[in-house]
Structures are given as structure tokens and as C-alpha cells.
Structure 1
Amino acid sequence: MNDMLTTTPDFSIEAAAALLREHYGLTGTLSPLASERDQNFEVETPEGIFILKLVNAAEPEVESDFQTALLAHVGAHAGDLPVPHIRPTLAGASLARVTSPGGASHRVRLVSWVHGQPLAETQRNDAALASLGRMLGRFDAALKGFMHPGALRDLDWDIRKAGRSADRLHHVTASEDRALLERFLARFSAIESRLATLRAAVIHNDANDWNVLVDAADPDRVSGLIDFGDALHAPLIAEVAIAAAYAGLDHADPIGAAAAIARGFHAEYPLLEEEVDLLYDLIAIRLVTSVTISASRRAHTDDNPYLAISERPAWTLLRKLDRMNPRFATAILRKACGFEAAPGARTVIDWLAANRKTLAPLLERPAATYPAALVPYGDPAHPMTVKSAAQQPDAAQTIWDAYCRENGIELGIGPWGEERTVYAGEMFVSRFIEGTRRTHHLGLDLFMAAGTKVFTPLAATVVSVEIEKDPLGYGCLIALRHEPEGCPPFISLWGHLAHEAMNRLKAGDRLQAGALVGEMGAPSENGGWAPHLHLQLSTDTDLSATEILGVGEPRYLDVWAELFPDARTFGGIAREFYEREGRSHEEIVRMRRELLLPNLSISYEKPIKFVRGEGVWLIDDGGRAYLDCFNNVCHIGHAHPAVVEAMAKQAGTLNTNTRYLHDNIVAYAERLTATLPKELTVAGFVNSGSEANSLALRMMRAHTGRENAITLDWSYHGTTQELIDISPYKFRRKGGKGPKPHVHVATVPDSYRAPADWPLEEHGRRFAESVAELISAMQAKGEGPGFFIAESIPSVAGQVFLPEGYLREVYRLVREAGGVCIADEVQVGFGRVGSHWWAFETQGVVPDIVTMGKPIGDGHPMAAVVTTREVTESFNNGMEYFNTFGGNPVSCAIGLAVLDVIESQDLRGNALAMGNYLMDAFRDMQKRHEVIGDVRGLGLFLGIELVTDRKSKAPATEFARAVSNGARRRGVLMGTEGPHDNVLKMRPPMIFSKRDADHLIAVLEDTFADVARTLG
């Protein structure tokens, strides 16, 4: 102590002024500045303001030289940095040497004054702290490559020496305080060896809030950095940690303050993930160093009360840090620097989005298929929320149940990120931000009845099964670990379950995708809530189930979104549930009436507004997914990626007409005709099934010179007038005018409704007699048939499968009479029947002309006609055939993509297998439901005819329509067809899976039972 007194400079103002004149040639006003070891003066001169420093004589010369060299290096490499810059002596030296009145030798340094207000005297907002980070980043970047022996000194403030704090613990008197420090020292011990592997450099090492200056005119901007007495060579990340430790003192959000500094530093001097991952512990250990050094000094200065007061903010911050989960703090710091909140978090989110179609349903059927509504926890005034907040779950459930009954809701959804007022317990107080609560939901809530079973969408290993007994806690809580191929592991959390799972699952159990996880618990066992599942994901697999935050602070929602990503995809909730856009149903209906043809029909009693298609699903504007078993336009599934890619690629390259040469049209014609019998070799391309049938009629006329048509009763072939004229489904119904003289209608060859005395093996011949009679009548008038046209499986007539031998006999009769035979494969072609590419092949015949549409482009408007060389030669009569869009490069690219998918994925084989599976299920239903008169189908072209009496076969039209609408309410689309609208018609996409089939079967079973109860 005596040595310090003799070596500390003690110059009067007059003596210091004399030194200023002698060594620097400056005069001015000097004012003393506070200093513990050295002597400092503020100097106001005509040339500006400076600081005159007289260095303690006891300071090793190497240290003084180090600071001088450091400032000189910064001045040379970053002269614009607002730090003190050295004013050389008159002799051009960086330092002067003087002798004090006591005889001690002192070094003198004059540096420029840095203007600003100490950060300690400001609000330390995020902008200012980010500016501090940028300042430190620029400063440290300027010191790259700088080294000096003085930077290698042994200093207790070196963060690598923080373990020495353990030797000072005995100066801390309170046992609980020592225990607190021991916890942080234990954490530091676990990472201490890693410090040697990190980037190291000369750093400021003491960016406390008195050494940082802020622009008085712009408090968001740091204007200066001073006092380099503690600078040394240390891990680069220590610079950020030390600044953050001081910035966090008396700060309401100390980790937020640290994040702001780290963000700013990273912008100027990019940090590494392994550095940021240590930041929380380094902030804490700097504070441990500070309080233990203060405690040891206090012990030698008779418990100096000033030291105790200065320690208090550090102790307060240490206690705050101790209450935090270090992994959450690190996630916040990582996110601030642009890294993932947890390593692999974004990959998990992306993997789930890319693989969502492969996930097993979380509920008994896909969650998106249930009519759903938001549970009003986000509305503090809603009665259900009020009841829940008052811990009256039974009352809340009653309110919710009534709402569901009134609105046909089966599933309640509590979304991720929703702000809620129900989180009132002490457990929801923020551990990061003073005076705030955790109010934003970080899971996905699914509300259904107690006992509802929930299943894992992915294979998993059980991590834990436990009971959380806290009021408003989770009740039975299960954590599963998922490790799908190509994805980092992640955790799913299942809360508010029934306790039955405790006896069924244990840690280490393996669950396959679709396996039962548990049941939604009643309030008595789920923490006191209305029955629901709290489903949550965690990309940090080291968090225990009870550590995973179910509710978070709004300030850090971006962090929580990566650490605990929205489970909507994992749970099977469509994005449209949250993002409803466009006009209301009512407005669209009104505008259709005003702007569109009035006879443009709308399906179902309650119309649906679809906004997206995907595979076998159609998704409405409310996010509800419907299993599409009806719209056979999208033959290989809605928005098939191969089709979308082919369309976009070709459209982005070239689209033109067939007057020019292009590979696609001949490539597609070659591939298409290869699927047909060898006689059918020439293709013509158009834009719709109606155009295809019209072109077929032109070819027929050119070949036969006749007009007489033979068509099946209740058939439909297109929208043009000439096609309406040969479609009894149109001309015999309201608005129709009956058959024209050239149109002759044959009996529908419906074996189910054939006379009972006809032997089954004679059905084909007997029904063909109807065609024979029509031909005879024509011939009696000296005429003959021009053509016979029929769908190879009459669809509108009620999914009628032609009896064996029917087409063979009819084709013989027509051809012998000079006519041609046209097979309309618009609905049933392209492998839909599974056993063959084309449905006419099941009859063992070869038509003269085949028309096709709908499935050909998977929703893209294209169609085709394929015919024989003989018919083609007749059609080539000198009149040009041209179709502006038919056969364009884009359409043909799409057609090729559809064929590629059908062939590469063996979708014909799939259609046959799934069709047989469904037919077996329908026949089983037929045994239990008297209303099912007939089941018919081949591949994925299926029909169920409903009758009021199996003997009379009286059509059950009302029942059929009720089933169709009931299935629609349950999320499955099908239609009704036939002369009496009593045949359920199903034509699902060719990619239909067993899971889809099981869903269809379950819905039909439920719907049949419900309609039977309703109609009696």
C-alpha cells in the first residue's frame, strides 16, 4: 500500500500545465479526473480537448508500452474509430518521461478526448447496445494481427482465469450465495478447456457502461470507447461476454441486452456458432469474477459499504441468470446472430414441410378432415376463456360443446403463437424479462372429448412418461423422440393426457408411425383444463419434458418458433385453417348469379370453396381437407409435382401451335398410341373431351358419309350442340327437346336391372338386340347407322359395367351395317380400370375411334382422338384440320409426364389392388345394409346402387343423396348418378392408397349408419 502511495503521480495543476507546454507545446485549462492508480487531467486547448495521463511509476513499462502500441495500431488501421488517439510529443514520441516531486519516474501520454455521455447514464436501449456491439466488432477487427508482450500478462480479469474465483469464495459470507457461485463455477469448469480452442485476439476486455460513450444528440448511437487499461490477448467472444455482463446490470431484459450487443458485433466481426454457444456461461463467469474480487477487497477494507453497493447489481443479475434455462438463453443469443435457435431447427421444420404427406394421422382420421374452429382462448371476454381462467373446466367445456353442436364443429384448435389471458399462475412469470408474463402459446391445442385417442405421426422412442401435478399443469405428459431419415432428431410433447398411459408406456419403448400415444384426459387428470391435447415440438432434444416451454414471451416468438416450431404440419392441420383469404361463400354465390350463366350448377346443399388441391385431397378456404373420390379430372392426383414441373419448364421455354415442328407432339403421339391396340395408330389432339367427341364425329362423317347415331340411353358425351343431340342424359331431361330424327337410343345394358329370366351369360347378347332392332329400323327406311358411341363403362347412367360380350356383338352389328364404332374413354381410360389401359379392352374389342379427355393432362385442358389408318385416310379429304392449342408443346409435355407417372409408379396395378380392396369392403357393407342393392366396379371406377327394396329394386334416391351429403360433411367427396340419382359414384385419383381407402370405408360406414337412423 505504501508503495502505491509513493509511485502514484501527484502533480499539481500548475506542474501538469508546465509538462503540457514542455512536451506538447500546448496551453489550456486543466481539470483533474478521477483515477485509482494514475493521474488524469482533462485539457481544454485551442486545438481541442485532450486527456493528459501520468502513469503510475509502479506500472510495468511493458504495460504502458502495450497501451501506447495498441492505440497507435488502431490509429493506423482504423483512424475513424471514436477511441482516444495519441498526440505525439514535440520530439515525435508517443510518450514523455517526467520525474515527480517525490523522485519517482513517470510516463506521460496525451490522447484526444472522446465526446459522449457514459452508457451508464442512458436507457441502454436495444439500438444503443447493438451500436456498442458494432463498435466493439470494428475495434476488434482493427486489431487483427496485432500483438504485444503486454497483451500476454497474467490478469484476474482474463476470462480464462475465471476459475480462480473458487479461491475467493470464502470471502462470500452467505451460504446460498456461495452455492449460487459454485453452480456457475461448475458450468465454467465444464467449458474451460474449450476456451483454448476458440479464436483469440487482443480485445478491449472492459467495455463496461462507464467506458462506453453515447452520442448525446443520438442516444441510439455509441460515440466512443475509452480506457484500455485491461486490454489483453483473450478469446474473441470474451469481448461480447464482458460487454453483455455490464449491460445486463439493472437491465429489465439482460439476455435481450446481450443479444443486441452480439447482433451488432456479429454484423461487423462475424462470430462462430461455437463461440455464441458459450456466451451465456461467459457472461455469468465474468460476473462471478467481479463479485468475488469485490468480496475479497471488501474483506481487506473493513467491509467497505461502497463495495457492497457496487456488487449488488451483479448479484441481482447472477440470480436472474440462475433462474433462466441456459439453453433458452443460448437460443436467444444464437438467433440474434442469425444462427438457428437450436442446431438443425430449420432443417427439422423444412423436413416436416417436405414430408407432411407421409405422416400418419394424429387422430383416428387426418385432423384436417374434421370440421374445425378456433377455440376462443385468445378472446379474454369469451365465456369459455373466463371459465377456464377461473379453473372451471366443466363449465368451459359445456360452453364449447354447445358452440360445436350449433356449428357442426368436431375439432377445436388452439393455434401456436396465440396470445392468451388464461395463463395466470406464478409459473407463467417471465424468467427473462422483469415485469412481464409468458402469454403466447407455443404448442398446438386440439380439443375433442375426453378419451379421444391420439397417435404418433412418426415412428418414435418414448423419452418420458410422467404426471405433472401442478394446478393448470399438463397432467399426464409424454415426450417422444423422433429420428426420421434425413432429418435431425426432434422431440414431440403430448400434454393433458389421461393417466392410463402411465401403465402402458415407459421410457425406451419404440412406437411405430400410427401407434397409440394416449387419450385426451378429463379435467380431473389433465391439469384442470377442458379436455384437449397440447402438442408441441422441440428441436432441442436435450430439454426434458418439463423444461420445454409451453408458453413464451412475445418478445422472443421468433426464437421460440425455431426452438418449438408450430406443430400444425406434424399434427396435420392445413395452413388454410389460419390464412383464410378471398371472398366469402355468400358473396361468390351472389356474384355467380350476377355474372355467370344461371344454369351453371353448384355441388352439394352447402357449397364448398376449394382453394388448394394436393394428391387425393382438396382443401377448402377454412383449411378442411376433403378426400376426393369424385373428380377424376386429376387422374394422378391434384397438383402432381411431375405435372407441375413439366408444365412450368415447357411454358418457360416455348409454347406455340402445331404449324411448327416440335419434339413433344410426336413423342407424345408415339407414347400414347403404344398403349392402344395395334390397329389404332393415328392421333389428333384437342383441348377437351367434348372437342374429342366432336372431332370423332367429323371423322365418322368423312368415313361413312352418314349421320345416323346409335347411343345408349342416359349417356352423356359433351357440351356442344351436336353432342347434346346424342346425349339422352341431356335431351331427355329438363330443357331438352328429345331425340332428333338421326339419333337412335339403345337400352342401357344394365345387368343389375336385366329381366330376371335372362341367364347371366346371355345378358350381352340380349341387350345387343336393342341395337339390332334400331339398325333394322334404319335399314327398313333404306338407311344405315353412321356410328355407335358409348362410354366403355357408362358413367352418368350409374357406373354400369357392360355385360360380357356386349360390345363384341354390338360392334359386329354396326360394322356389318356400314357404321363405325366409337369408344368414349374420357372418364374410364388411362388405366383407371387397372386390369387394362383402356376399359374397352375388358370387352375384347377394338374400336374404330377412341376419344379421351380429363385424365390425359391431370387437370390440364387437353384431350385426344386416336383412330385407324383407314378412318384417317377418309378424313384427309382436302379440308385442313387445325386446332390452335391442341397438341401444343406444353400440353404434350404434361401428357408425357402423366404417362411417366402411371408407368413408373405402376398406378394401373395400384388401381386394381385398391379397387379390389374397396369392392370387398363394399360387399361386406352390403351384407349389413339392406339399402345396398348392388356393388359394382373395376379398378378405381366404382358404384354402389341403393334401393328401398332389393326385390323390386326400387331406387333409394333420398338415401343416396343423404349419403353423398353426409360423406361431404365428414370430409369425403363422391357423387350420385343414374336415371334415378341413386348410385353412389366414386372415381378417386390413381394414387389412392390403402390409408385413403380405409378412410373412405370408415366414412361410408358411419354415414350409412347415420342416414339409416335419420331416414328410418
Structure 2
Amino acid sequence: MEHVWLRGVAEQFGIAGGLRQLGGEYDLNFRGRTSEGDVIVKAMRPQGEPALVDQQCAAINHALATDPTLPLPRLLPAGGNRFWQNVPDAQGQQRMVWVQRAFTGIPMGEAGPQPPAVLAELGALTARLDLALRDFKVTAAPDAAKWDLTEAGWIKPHLDVLEGARRTLVAGIVAAFEALKPALDRLPRQTIHNDLNDFNILVQPRLGEPARISGLIDFGDMTDGPRVCEIAIAAAYAILDHETPEAALAALVAGYHDVSALSAEEIGLIWPLVRMRLAVSVVNSTIEAKGRPNDPYVTISQAPAWRLLENPAIDGELMGARLRNACGLPVTDAAGRIASWIAAQRGSFAPVLGRALDGLPVGSLGIAEATIPQNPFELRADEARNLGTGLGITQEWWLGQYGEPRLVYTDKAFRKGPWLASNRRTIHMAVDVFGPAGEPVRAPLASKVALAENRKGHLDYGGVVILEHRTPAGDIFHTLYGHLAADGAAKLKPGQEIAAGEAFAKLGPAEENGGWEPHLHFQLALTLDGMGHDWPGVADPDDWALWQAICPNPAALLNLPDETVAYQAIDEAALLIERKTRFGANLKLSYKKPVTFLRGWRHHLFDAMGRPYLDAYNNVPHVGHAHPRIRKVAMDQLARMNSNTRYLHPAPMALAQRLTAKLPKELEVCFFVNSGSEANELALRLARAASGGYDIVTPDHGYHGNTTGAIDISAYKFNKPNMGGRKPWVQLVDVADDYRGRFRRDDADRALHYAQQVDGALAAIAERGGKVAGFIAETFPSVGGQIIPPPGYLAAVYERIRAAGGICIADEVQTGLGRLGDYYFGFEQQGVQPDIVVLGKPLGNGHPIGALITTRAIAERFAEGPEYFSTFGGSNLSCRIAAEVLDIVEEEGLSANAKAMGDKLLAGMRALMDDYPCVGDVRGIGLFLGLELVTDRETLEPATDAAAHVMNRLREMRILVGREGPADNILKIRPPLTVGADDVEMILDRLRICLREVEAAR
């Protein structure tokens, strides 16, 4: 034992195996193990005050007596009536030592930023602790009064320890604190913990669900103070390095409020107090670091504290409204009165555009109704100038809706993070009135100009005016008028009064209004807190509840019913119920929380509220979602004809020429069908016709489609319950998995050993009196776990099958057409030439088409049977789309991109293995990749729950991946071939977070 002076304590409490020292600013903390579980040994600094320790123990026991389920330390009696004892340390100085049961879990500071659900739980537990301590009286105060937030002004004389901009920043925080100090001093006081920092809060990470708060520890800094100080201290550390600190703080405060209601005054103090606590932290750590330069404890939170304090994206003025809204309170005291007054006056306001608006057509630019813009990341100028035409609206006057999720806001300013799939603002917070440029714009009621300016940026407001209004009760609200003519706005002056119905501006032409089709953006705001005169006109869906409260539907000011211009979003809960009602229960949805997608572009999908997701899973949109060239070809062909294959047409011939040009010359005959399943079913027929046999050899856990014949050869399906199992004419061999399979990478002959299993399969066929028809395999097994067979495997297999008279079928649905980068088809990597190649869903980029290409000899044997016909297989439309897909792969360099991005992603994921032992293997070629999770790298125990956790967490982080393998422990990554370097960085960044969570939960 390193600290031999604690040996007696260890023996007294049955601690075996030594003590591990933990962190602490002044006192010593150790962890040890007993037969009844782990304990924490706390040794107070020398000359500590017994009254402080007695007080801590009494407070803990008091709180537990009041609320027994609080996650607080359970103290072990030290003898007599005390929970502590005096022990001389190595220097002979007396220390008070006490022992308590340890908690499961780790400090929140080690676990990393927590999701809102965990922070809400923390808020609720903080409230429960405050309630449990409110009638406990603090009689002994700690020496470190510097942590009493009500006295935080002590740092003001010490600001010279900071430099430059940081000193200025903290000086501003101190000034704000001094301004609120009288209000803080008026609040009721009670006993509070006073130090719920992220290392005094323990969390128990869990897979598949949020962590839970498992412990609140260290009562050594208890003091008497307002409960908002308790909230601010807990929040200050809990939101450090959080990607959305505002939402994190709101979740914590709402959790507290749900248990113990806060007043509006208290809520308004929380954010300034959070900042002041962090200011104290950075000033104190800077001072302490000068005297203890080698002690990491004193600076442990300094860097993240500065990152939060210096974060320019946090709008402090808006925080009060955000927290009030999170607690279910009006965003201002006057908000409810203003909204009620406006609603009561509906129908009596002066017409804003000099005419009645009821009866006008209502158009929708919503994601569910519109395809504007075609590229959701770039609104073209012609699209912005012709919104109505794009929607098929022919009238000059029409209305655009409030609360509508739109993709037309494509500038980077609308994005809230570094990635294309980061949160972006999409929800329109105004009503649009489209009409002719030059139409006068009038005040709906008596007003005063608050702002008038011309914002000339592309797709900005152009001329914009904000008017101030006052209700008879004296409550102030504002309206904004955007996309005005430049000259009208220029003539107005702040403070200028405008009468009800008075024209003060005109609708601007596109040249002056930011480049838009002429219209009025009409928006109402019940408060300017956090907005000033730079109003956001569009909200992040994740913040919609807040912005809906600040900027409600302005329909009443236009003398319209709210429902006339209120967007009706898809009811996703009802949609899910309807799906369960109308479809079979075994038609499954992806992810623990299903997601509704309405638009796609390249390698991104957009949900019903316009949130973007990085699609790293779907190999169907081979060249990207909604490719404009495919759309153009499809529209062109549908305008001509789409019929069956009994007639001559150049499209099937053109597709056949393109496909065979990429294949060995012997593979020259094509059959076009509607899917990979159909193509594999057809492949079985050809193999049987050509070989005269019936039996099939195939790797275990393979998947070849959903037709009856395809399922019969797909162990992934026929081994499931109620599927009847393996047919006698199907022989299984092992998947050539050299990571966890029978023959592994340390075996130089593993390819041959796997191939030799075919000998046993052929012998079994002979024993049952059968004859082999062929061997079929996904060239690189996907459902089997994104497997790359060892070199030489297929060559040895094909040799054996052909020697027995069988046909070799390569199922290239998952791997063909350039996905592998260096190889157009997977069989090329294996150095073999199949007799039949099968292609499926990627060939049509989502349009139903499959293909089978074979030799003339095999095709002729098949032709000796009955006529082959597929009504829609090889239709004019399908063939033109498929040919365009092949051209796009070639002309846009997508094979080269698959190699470059695949290599980058593969290298990045392999680098993660150094930090995260749960990653057992990373494998793949091009954009066909797998990451296998294990609980132990020696035993290779599959980490199935961990894989499910990572997949669902990535979905929460706006990245779609799949999960495969016999144990469902392999993350499947196979994005459209358009994926870029930034997307790869996002995947790696988010993966790192998820893997850290997995390790924390182990």
C-alpha cells in the first residue's frame, strides 16, 4: 500500500489490495475494495476542523433521511457516535479520515458532455437535494469562502492575473454580477451543496440509453445561499464543451423546475451566475497555478471554461427567454398579454398591403411539398426569383406559410456547425405575402420606426423595416417587414411615427430585395431580447419551441385566421401507427427511433423538419440521391414511352454495351430484371440449365434476395425462425472471415483452407445422389460482416466448382460498379472470372432494375428451355436510367473518389483502434467498409449491444450507418460514392464520441 499510514483504516474496514488515489484540491481521496464492494476513503487536510466533517456527515444523513433514494454517499461508522477518526499521516500530522460506500460510475468530467435527458435528471436531483437540505442549518463555514457564489466579486481586484481580451471579458462578467447582486441578495437562502462540479457528479454510462446520475459527492463546500447558486454551479460544469450549451443548460434548469418551481426572477439570474462561477474558476486557477504549477487539479477545467466563456455562438441576452420557455413560462412577463390583445383585435388592423388577403392561394415551400431548391445546399438565383412558378402557382398574389420547414435557406450563415449535416435553420418564422414589386406596404396599427436599413447581401432582406407598437396596456412588441424596395427604407428614420394604414415602404424588385421573387416577409416578435435589430427569420427545428414563443404566428395582424397560414407538418407519430396498421409486422424500420425522410441530395437525406443527415449507409443511391442527370433522363423517357421488352428499342442495347465493356469479353449476354433478388433467382435457373445439376454451394450467413429461390440459398434468412431451415440441395461453407473465422490472418494458407470446405460440400452432394449446379456468393459478404476474403480464396473455390461441372456466380449487388475504388467489380480483386455476374439496386440508383450477365454458352443452354420474359425487366426507362448511372460513375470520377474517401476513412477508423479497445477490427476496400466491435480483443466476444448503441447514437448525431454480421456487432459503412473529405471527418469525429461512450460503459 502506497500510503502506509492508512493501513489501520484499511484493516478496520476490510480493504484489500491497496488504495488508489483520486483527485482533490485540498483533501486526499482514495478508492479501495472490500468484500461488500468498493469504498471511498477521505482524508481531510491536516489541522482540519472536526466541526466541518461532522457537518458533512450530518448533512448527508439528514438528506438521506428526508429523501432516501438520493444518490448520496452512505457513510460507514468509525466507532462510537462518529463517522470519522483521527489518523496521523506520513509526516505525523493528524488527519480526519472517514469511509463511505463507493458509487458505480465515473465522474461526469471524465465521461464527457451528456445528452439533455441526463442533464434534466441532474437538474431534478439537484432540486431534490436542495429540498432535502432546506431545513438543515450550516453552522461551520469552510475556509474557502471564495467558492461562495454570492461573494464572487472577490475576483475583481485580481483581474490583473488575466491578460488582454480575457481580462476585458471577465471584467464585463464581474460588472454584470455587480448589477444583479442586489436581486441575488433579496432571494431566500438555504443550505446548498455549493460544489456540484463535474467531478463531484458521478454518471453510470449505459449502452442503448442515456447514462444515469449515480452519485452526488463531496459536501465539503456546503454553505448558505440562494438555490439559484446551486443550479448555476452545477450547470457551469455540466455544460462545458457541450456542442449545444444553451440546450444543455435549458434541460438542466427545466429538470430542476419540474421538481421545485423557479420564479421568473430566479431564472433570469441563472446564466449570469453560470458565467460568474466560471469567471471565479479561471481567475482562481490562474492564481493557484502560480503557486502549484505542477498540480493538474487546479487547472483541470480552465481550458473548457474559457471555451464556454469565449464562445461567440452563445447568445446571452436570449438565454433568459430560453430558460423561461424551457420551464413553461412566457418568454417575457408581457408576452401573454400582447398575444391575447393581438388576437382580440383580429380583423380590425389596417391591411398591410392595402387589400384583403383572405381568399388568396396558399403555396408551400415546405420540404414535404416542394422540390425547391433542387440542391438543398445551394439555392440558385433563378429558383429564388421564381418561387411561385416553381410551385406551379400562376397568380401574382399568394401567401407563404408560417412555421414551414424549408430548404431554400442554403447560405452557411444558416448552418450551426462545421458539417453539411450539422443543424441548420429551416423553419420560417413569418408569413410571406407575394405580390407585384412596387406595391405599398402599410402599418397595421400605430407605430414607431425602430430600424430602417438596406441589407444588400445576396438572399438577404434587401430593404428591411422594424416597427415598434404599444398596446393600450403599455406593452411593447415589434413587427418586421423584409424584402422592401431600397428607397423607401432609406427615407425612414428611427423614432419616426407612422399612423395605422400609412404607407411607409414598397415591395422591392428582385434586384433590391435580396434576389427573391417580390414578396413581403412579415414577422412578429414579442421581445427583442437576444435579437436586437438583427432578427433571425428562420429557426433551427431543435429550437422551434423557443422561437415559436418569441415570434408567434402573425396572422391576426394580417386579419387572417391562424390556420390559414400555419403550416401543418407531417404527424410522424400517426405515420408510424398507420404503417404498423397497413403493413406486415416483419417489414422493419431502421433505428430505435425511426426517422422520416422526405428529400435527398447526393449523400445527404432530410427529415420532415429539414434536418440534414449524412447517409453513410445506403448503397442504393450509388451516384447520390436525386441526381439531376437521372431525373432529367427519367423525365425525358417518361415523356416518350415506357413499355416491355417485346419491342425493339435502343436503350437496352446501349446499357448492355456499357455493361459488357466493363466485363471480361466472355461475359457478353445480358438479362435485365427488376431487382437483384430477381437476378439471383434467374442465375439459379441458368446455372441449373447449363450444368444439368440442381444443388448449390454457398457461404453461410449470405443474402441474395427476397424471392423464394433467393431465400432458399440465403442462410441469413432460412436459418431464422419459421423459415424451414436449409434445403437438402443447399450446402453451406464458412464465410471466409479471417478475423474471427476458423482460419485467421496468422495462417498463411487460410484462403486454401476455407476453399477446401467446398470439397466437403461437393462430397455431401454426391452422397445424397445430387449434382452441383453452381456456387453463389456475395463476392465480399456484406450481411456476413463486410468481409474481404483472403487473396486466392475465390480462385481456389471456382477451380473446385468447375472441376465438378458447376457454374460460378458472383453476386456483385453490394460491390459492383466502382464502389471498391481500384476495382470496378469485386471479383477483380480476387483475380477470378465468374460465369455469371449479378447486379442489383445500385445499378438504377433507386430505380428498380437488376442485371445478369453471362457467357453465350450458358445463355444458349438456358434458351433451350421455355421463353424467358419479364414485363418490366429491361424497360426503356430502366435501361436509360441504368446507363446514365454508369456514365455518371465514369464522368464524375466516382470510382476514384470511392478509393480516396475509402482510404481516408479506413485509415481514420484504424487509428481509433489505438484509443478504443472495443474496436476489434476495421476492414474494407473503397467505400465498402466494416468496423467490428468486441468486448475483448483476445476472445473476440461480439459487442452486439455496443454496435447497436453506436448505430443509434450516430443516427442521433445525424449520421446513418447499418449493423451486420452473425452477431450484429459490425458497423456497416457504404455511403453513396459522392461522399467527401468533410463527411469522412464528420464520421470519424462522431465515431470517436460514440466509442468513448462504449468504453465508459464497459
TM-score w.r.t. length of structure 2: 0.52
Aligned to 2:409: 423
2:205, 2:211 within 8 Å by CA — same for their partners in 1? no
1:497, 1:519 within 8 Å by CA — same for their partners in 2? yes
For the residue of structure 1 that corresponds to 2:145, the secondary structure is: coil
Aligned to 1:244: 235
Aligned match for 2:169, one of 164, 176, 180: 180
Aligned to 1:440: 427
After TM superposition, list the pairs within 5 Å mapping 1:74-223 onto structure 2. Answer: 74-100=63-89, 102-120=91-109, 121=111, 124-151=114-141, 155-173=145-163, 175-217=164-206, 219-223=210-214
After TM superposition, list the pairs within 5 Å mapping 1:318-329 onto structure 2. Answer: 318-320=309-311, 322-329=312-319
After TM superposition, list the pairs within 5 Å mapping 1:845-884 onto structure 2. Answer: none
How far does residue 90 in structure 1 lie from its aligned partner after superposition?
Answer: 2.5
1:359, 1:457 within 8 Å by CA — same for their partners in 2? yes
CA distance in 2, matches of 1:501, 1:409: 26
1:481, 1:490 within 8 Å by CA — same for their partners in 2? yes
Determine whether 1:368 maps to 2:358.
yes
Aligned to 2:267: 276
Q: Which region of structure 1 is more displaced relative to structure 2, 567-576 or 555-564?
A: 567-576
For the residue of structure 1 that corresponds to 2:220, the secondary structure is: coil
Aligned match for 1:523, one of 502, 506, 510: 510
Aligned to 1:494: 481
After TM superposition, list the pairs within 5 Å mapping 1:943-962 onto structure 2. Answer: none
Greater Rg over alpha carbons, structure? 1
How far does residue 207 in structure 1 lie from its aligned partner after superposition?
Answer: 1.9
Aligned-partner residue type, residue 9 of structure 2: L
Aligned-partner residue type, residue 215 of structure 2: G
Tell me: CA distance 1:384–1:85, structure 2 relative to 1, closer, same or farther (3 Å).
closer
Aligned to 1:254: 245
CA distance in 2, matches of 1:387, 1:437: 11
Aligned match for 1:56, one of 30, 41, 45: 45
Aligned-partner residue type, residue 410 of structure 2: A
After TM superposition, list the pairs within 5 Å mapping 1:779-858 onto structure 2. Answer: none
After TM superposition, list the pairs within 5 Å mapping 1:243-642 onto structure 2. Answer: 243-301=234-292, 310-320=301-311, 322-374=312-364, 381-382=371-372, 389-392=379-382, 396-397=384-385, 399-400=386-387, 409-430=395-416, 435-486=422-473, 488-502=475-489, 504-541=491-528, 546-578=533-565
How far does residue 363 in structure 1 lie from its aligned partner after superposition?
Answer: 2.0
* Offset from partner CA, 1:881-924 (integer Å, 9 cap, x none): xxxxxxxxxxxxxxxxxxxxxxxxxxxxxxxxxxxxxxxxxxxx
CA distance in 2, matches of 1:416, 1:232: 49
For the residue of structure 1 that corresponds to 2:154, the secondary structure is: helix
* Offset from partner CA, 1:780-805 (integer Å, 9 cap, x none): xxxxxxxxxxxxxxxxxxxxxxxxxx
How far does residue 129 in structure 1 lie from its aligned partner after superposition?
Answer: 1.0
Aligned to 1:1012: none
CA distance in 2, matches of 1:431, 1:284: 23
Tell me: CA distance 1:224–1:435, structure 2 relative to 1, closer, same or farther (3 Å).
same
* Offset from partner CA, 1:939-996 (integer Å, 9 cap, x none): xxxxxxxxxxxxxxxxxxxxxxxxxxxxxxxxxxxxxxxxxxxxxxxxxxxxxxxxxx
CA distance in 2, matches of 1:127, 1:401: 42
For the residue of structure 2 that corresponds to 1:199, the secondary structure is: coil
Tell me: CA distance 1:220–1:105, structure 2 relative to 1, closer, same or farther (3 Å).
closer
Aligned to 1:725: none
Determine whether 1:31 maps to 2:19.
yes
How far does residue 141 in structure 1 lie from its aligned partner after superposition?
Answer: 0.7
Aligned-partner residue type, residue 104 of structure 1: Q
Aligned-partner residue type, residue 556 of structure 2: T
CA distance in 2, matches of 1:487, 1:431: 40
CA distance in 2, matches of 1:440, 1:346: 23
Percent identity, aligned pairs only, is 31
Tell me: CA distance 1:503–1:112, structure 2 relative to 1, closer, same or farther (3 Å).
closer
Aligned-partner residue type, residue 511 of structure 2: S
1:372, 1:411 within 8 Å by CA — same for their partners in 2? no
CA distance in 2, matches of 1:58, 1:182: 36
2:482, 2:522 within 8 Å by CA — same for their partners in 1? yes
RMSD across aligned C-alpha pairs, in angstroms?
3.2
Tell me: CA distance 1:290–1:345, structure 2 relative to 1, closer, same or farther (3 Å).
same
1:372, 1:410 within 8 Å by CA — same for their partners in 2? no
CA distance in 2, matches of 1:179, 1:346: 38
Question: Where in structure 1 are there 5+ consecutive unaligned residues?
Answer: 1-10, 582-1016
CA distance in 1, matches of 2:418, 2:224: 32
CA distance in 1, matches of 2:375, 2:506: 23
Larger RCO, structures 1/2 (Cα 8 Å, 6+ apart): 2
Aligned match for 1:73, one of 62, 67, 80: 62
After TM superposition, list the pairs within 5 Å mapping 1:749-788 onto structure 2. Answer: none
1:65, 1:150 within 8 Å by CA — same for their partners in 2? no
CA distance in 2, matches of 1:436, 1:68: 46
How far does residue 17 in structure 1 lie from its aligned partner after superposition?
Answer: 3.8
For the residue of structure 2 that corresponds to 1:132, the secondary structure is: helix
Aligned-partner residue type, residue 242 of structure 1: I
For the residue of structure 2 that corresponds to 1:467, the secondary structure is: strand
CA distance in 2, matches of 1:258, 1:284: 12
* Offset from partner CA, 1:371-407 (integer Å, 9 cap, x none): 4433568867336998992334xx643x356579x75
How far does residue 60 in structure 1 lie from its aligned partner after superposition?
Answer: 3.4
For the residue of structure 2 that corresponds to 1:84, the secondary structure is: coil
CA distance in 2, matches of 1:55, 1:545: 51
Tell me: CA distance 1:371–1:418, structure 2 relative to 1, closer, same or farther (3 Å).
closer
TM-score w.r.t. length of structure 1: 0.51
* Offset from partner CA, 1:243-276 (integer Å, 9 cap, x none): 2221221211011111111111111221111111
Aligned residue pairs, count: 563
2:127, 2:259 within 8 Å by CA — same for their partners in 1? yes
CA distance in 2, matches of 1:362, 1:132: 48
CA distance in 1, matches of 2:537, 2:504: 19
After TM superposition, list the pairs within 5 Å mapping 1:882-961 onto structure 2. Answer: none
For the residue of structure 2 that corresponds to 1:149, the secondary structure is: coil
1:457, 1:514 within 8 Å by CA — same for their partners in 2? yes
Determine whether 1:18 maps to 2:8.
yes
Tell me: CA distance 1:497–1:197, structure 2 relative to 1, closer, same or farther (3 Å).
same
Tell me: CA distance 1:491–1:146, structure 2 relative to 1, closer, same or farther (3 Å).
same
